[in-house]
Structure 1
Amino acid sequence: MRRPRGRAAGRAAGRADESGSAVVEFIWLGLLLLVPLLWIVISVFEVQRGAFAVSGAARAAGRAYVLAADDGQGEQRARAAARLALADQGLAEDFDLRVSCTPYPQDCHAGTSVVTVVVASRVNLPLLPSALGGSSPSFALDATHTLPVGRFQERHEQR
């Protein structure tokens, strides 16, 4: 077999040095694009899980509040219901619960009050160390649920 001479020999030697580099470049490029994409997908799922938990907690807290006999008992039951709903989805116990009533803000269980419950919490974004910026990065979530007091109260008719 004849060996190439001159310029042809240089081109053949250059091709031999680059053999397999396309596979390495493809793997590195794939990793550089796949890792951030994977992080984004996982983060979206975490935020969706948190949004579902906060929404369920607001609904459960509102129902527990209006079923209570008075405002004090309603506040305790609403906190317990919200804590349980958030724990079902694996959210931290750190949440904020606010209850407001109209048209009787001092006595929510009087007459035909409308109760609004707001539950706020945070979801930590996964796979990010706190060394990147103080505390662990998180996403704030809140949900509101409004319902009338008389809707879920039990009525006893006298005969």
Structure 2
Amino acid sequence: MNSERRDLRRAWAAVRSRLGEGERGSAVVEFLGVSLLMLVPIVYLILTLAQIQASGFAAEGAAREAGRVLAGAETFEQGLTAAHLAVELSFADQGIAVDGAQALQIRCQHEPCLTPGSYLYISVRTDVGLPGMPAMLSGTLPSVTQVQADAMTAIPRYREVG
């Protein structure tokens, strides 16, 4: 009976060594390592998409509000100043600093621009930096993306011409 037990213990020891009992707990370490390798790019992708989406929302709002401000202004110069400010505020709401004068483009259907019954075509275009992009990679990888939004605004037909 003792020889059977010894044989059984030897067989069990051989089975345990084949199954790798010496690597106990390494599955947790491997799981954490692979999880981090997968998690970091996914989090960066989410942050990048959120930044692009926020700048897209800002551009849409900026184009729409710039048109509304221009359509309601007494003079084109006053409206243009207010439209530049509206663009800057729309982007500032999303945490993005933009120069309204550079980002805003206006095309008029008729001259003068605020002719009653005509349309204004507004375009807002700007470059938005991607989050966490190091400066040393800016030559090899794109570190900015361009965001553009367009709007068309009607000048009220019964507007008082001043």
For this structure pair, what is the TM-score category when the shorter chain's length is used for normalisation?
Answer: 0.7 to 0.9
The alignment partner of 2:107 has SS state of: strand
Correspondent of 2:149 among 136, 143, 146: 143
- 1:63 and 1:36, CA in 2 relative to 1: closer, same or farther beyond 3 A? same
- 1:138 and 1:120, CA in 2 relative to 1: closer, same or farther beyond 3 A? same
Q: Which residue of 2 aligns with 1:76?
A: 81
Deviation at 1:147, TM superposition (A): 1.3
- Deviation track 1:78-123 (CA, whole Å, cap 9, x = no partner) reads 1111112211221112451100011x1x311124210011111222
- Deviation track 1:112-142 (CA, whole Å, cap 9, x = no partner) reads 2100111112222212212223387122111
Which stretch shifts more, 66-75 or 130-139? 130-139
Correspondent of 1:120 among 125, 137, 149: 125
Are 1:42 and 1:126, in contact at CA under 8 Å, matched by a contact in 2?
Answer: yes
Q: Is the aligned partner of 1:16 residue 2:21?
A: yes
Task: With the length of structure 1 as denominator, give the TM-score of the two structures.
Answer: 0.81
Task: With the length of structure 2 as denominator, give the TM-score of the two structures.
Answer: 0.79
Unaligned residue ranges in structure 1 (runs of 5+) = none
Unaligned residue ranges in structure 2 (runs of 5+) = none
Correspondent of 2:104 among 80, 97, 102: 97
Are 2:116 and 2:159, in contact at CA under 8 Å, matched by a contact in 1?
Answer: no
More helix by share: 2
Deviation at 1:25, TM superposition (A): 1.2
Q: Is the aligned partner of 1:33 residue 2:38?
A: yes
Are 2:69 and 2:79, in contact at CA under 8 Å, matched by a contact in 1?
Answer: yes
Q: How many residues align?
A: 152
Are 1:63 and 1:152, in contact at CA under 8 Å, matched by a contact in 2?
Answer: no
Which stretch shifts more, 130-139 or 45-54? 130-139
Deviation at 1:66, TM superposition (A): 1.4
Correspondent of 2:53 among 41, 48, 51: 48
Are 1:130 and 1:136, in contact at CA under 8 Å, matched by a contact in 2?
Answer: no
Correspondent of 1:67 among 66, 72, 94: 72
Q: Which has the larger radius of gyration?
A: 2
Are 1:46 and 1:125, in contact at CA under 8 Å, matched by a contact in 2?
Answer: yes
Computed over aligned residues only, the root mean square deviation of the Cα atoms, in angstroms, reads: 2.6
CA distance in 2, matches of 1:143, 1:107: 24
Percent identity at matched positions? 34
